[in-house]
Structure 1
Amino acid sequence: MRVGIFAKTFAGTTPDVVLAAARNAGYASVQYNFACSGLGALPQTIPIAAVTAIREASERTGVAIAAISATYNMIHPDIAIREAGRRSFAAIAAAAHAAGSTLLTVCTGSRDAADQWRDHPDNQGVEAWQDMVAEFGHLLAVAEQHDIFIGVEPELANVINSAAKARRLIDVMASERIRIVLDPANLFESEDAEARGRIIDEAIDLLKDRIAIAHAKDRNDDGSFAAAGKGVIDYPRYVASLRKAGFDGDVITHGLSAVEAPDVAAFLGPLVASEGSNT
């Protein structure tokens, strides 16, 4: 395993600046976002020079590009907004290999027209599921064309809001291109310690054949988010469960400030490096 971080944690609009900041804070990889190249999170055109700059910055700093964000609202009530998201996904997919990654990360979205991270009563309806499946049909065609993988992150306020729903998506789409980005803090809001551990362990076991990236953020007792190691999630148990499941990918932290980043790297590093985490 490697410890990584969301590139957008650090200020800057050039990959040299952002990846150097990640390295200096103690990270070996990033989940990249084209906003860090000054192009916005969902560019519809990506200059070759911008892609080359990412690859060269990665080589200079030694910070790997573990994945690239291509998240848009896959079930937005306005089809034109979905179509724009698809175009951006396709542009990012076309650039991914040259930038240094084969994994594009997505979330499945919300019927809330203003905020894809806000829950909506229609998110768990039949029509929302059908729209999402249709959207994945478009994305999988792009993934095949460009030989990339799609990392789907379960989010409580989205269509895929649990490990069970993620497993259902994998089974319905029946494509090896579908992978999972698993964040333990996205699996519950407020639970007691026993329930938290069980929910996380069961999610890892259910999805272990598809987990491409493990995220690392935390929850406070009141359900609000916290930086990894600052909340109630049992991180030694989480990492041990990942290792037991055979996971050896990147553990990517987010939901923290640049100021907090070195401390979180120092917290996660020994857990990820220690073979004792599997006992």
Structure 2
Amino acid sequence: MRLGAPVWYSSDDPEEMARAHVALGYGAAYCPDLSLDDLPRVRAVREAFEREGVAIAEVGAWRNMMAPGESERKRNLEYVCQRMALADEVGALCCVNISGSFNPEQWDGPHPENTSQQGFDLTVQNVRHVLDTVRPRRAKFALEMMPWGLPDSPDSFLALLRAVDRPAFAVHLDPVNLVHSPPRYFANGALIQECISKLGPWIVSAHGKDILLSNRLTTHLDEVRPGLGNLDYVTYIRGLDGLPADVPLMLEHLSSPEEYAEATAYVRSMAERAGVTFV
């Protein structure tokens, strides 16, 4: 199993960038800042990371595919297609996005229609559009689950997988995003096991963070650094390690190398407790 995180590069040389991950003990990486307008550099990065044995886990395509305005939605879908094509060219495991939101003020914000039949149908249409436009040869197009957007549960993701009906459609697992109530908070290990058992064959990448329930009314759930919350990392790591694919666990949303070092140390300690070794 592989662990990865953002890395602060001291050089833009592809070989040095790949080695920077190895030096920190990471077997997986986020895709560096690349563009399809510079294919020689894209290929140089792909080859350098392959030589160092570092898997490029994902290319982010963080745009609202459900934007309320038609012209904005079209532009966003074009961008997502470009990112999907980049993921395929650079040898990444996946291109990842969320389904989006009808919220006019925040691209990933809550809206009553996000989880409606309209939201479901538009998500199916958008995923098919990306995959049918790009026709990736290797990389998958994965959606990340969200607390107020589809997919918002293992079962809703299964429904999307069946409806989209494309072999290159995949699951990006981020259980913290599914912990949006006290029952789920306290039983998050069971939630993780449900995700693994129902979605395992489609999971291609996963995010590592943590969540903390505050002792304040009403319900306050905050994302925190791994080790400062209640996520059942032993169950999470064991579940990922038992998947048929070599699924990387990617740390995210921290602000400094020092924070990532602390998060990495904690996750490694949980892996040791789980009997799992990172490569």
Bin of the TM-score, shorter chain as denominator length? 0.7 to 0.9
Question: Within the alignment, does 1:239 sit opposite 2:237 as a pair?
Answer: yes
Question: Within the alignment, does 1:93 sit opposite 2:92 as a pair?
Answer: no
**Hey, what does 1:4 align to over in structure 2?**
4
Q: 1:225 aligns with which of 223, 226, 231?
A: 223
**Hey, what does 2:218 align to over in structure 1?**
none
* Alpha-carbon offset, residue 15 of structure 1: 6.9
**Hey, what does 2:188 align to over in structure 1?**
196
Report if aligned partners of 1:163, 1:187 keep a CA contact under 8 Å in 2: no
Change (3 A) 1:13 1:179: farther
Change (3 A) 1:88 1:3: same
**Hey, what does 1:70 align to over in structure 2?**
61
Change (3 A) 1:13 1:131: farther
Q: Distance in 1 between matches of 2:67 and 2:84?
A: 21
**Residues 229-262 of structure 1: CA deviation (Å, up to 9, x unaligned):** 2211111121123334545321111122222111
**Residues 57-89 of structure 1: CA deviation (Å, up to 9, x unaligned):** 535765331221123211111122222122222
**Residues 16-72 of structure 1: CA deviation (Å, up to 9, x unaligned):** 576565444432211225xx34x6xxxxx6322442453355357653312211232
Identity fraction in percent: 25
* Alpha-carbon offset, residue 100 of structure 1: 2.6
Report if aligned partners of 2:49, 2:56 keep a CA contact under 8 Å in 1: yes
How do 1:100-139 and structure 2 match up within 5 A?
100-139=91-130
* Alpha-carbon offset, residue 205 of structure 1: 1.2
Question: Within the alignment, does 1:151 sit opposite 2:142 as a pair?
Answer: yes
Q: Structure 1-normalised TM-score? A: 0.83
**Hey, what does 1:28 align to over in structure 2?**
27
**Residues 176-199 of structure 1: CA deviation (Å, up to 9, x unaligned):** 111101011011134256422222
Question: Within the alignment, does 1:178 sit opposite 2:169 as a pair?
Answer: yes
* Alpha-carbon offset, residue 14 of structure 1: 4.3
RMSD: 2.8
* Alpha-carbon offset, residue 164 of structure 1: 1.7
Change (3 A) 1:61 1:165: same
Change (3 A) 1:272 1:195: closer
Count of residues in Structure 1 that have an aligned counterpart in Structure 2: 268
Report if aligned partners of 2:136, 2:168 keep a CA contact under 8 Å in 1: no
* Alpha-carbon offset, residue 272 of structure 1: 4.2
Question: Within the alignment, does 1:255 sit opposite 2:247 as a pair?
Answer: no
Ranges in structure 1 where 5+ consecutive residues have no aligned partner: 40-44
Report if aligned partners of 1:67, 1:101 keep a CA contact under 8 Å in 2: yes
SS of corresponding position for 1:209:
helix
SS of corresponding position for 1:255:
coil
Ranges in structure 2 where 5+ consecutive residues have no aligned partner: 215-220
Structure 2 counterpart of 1:227, one-letter code: R
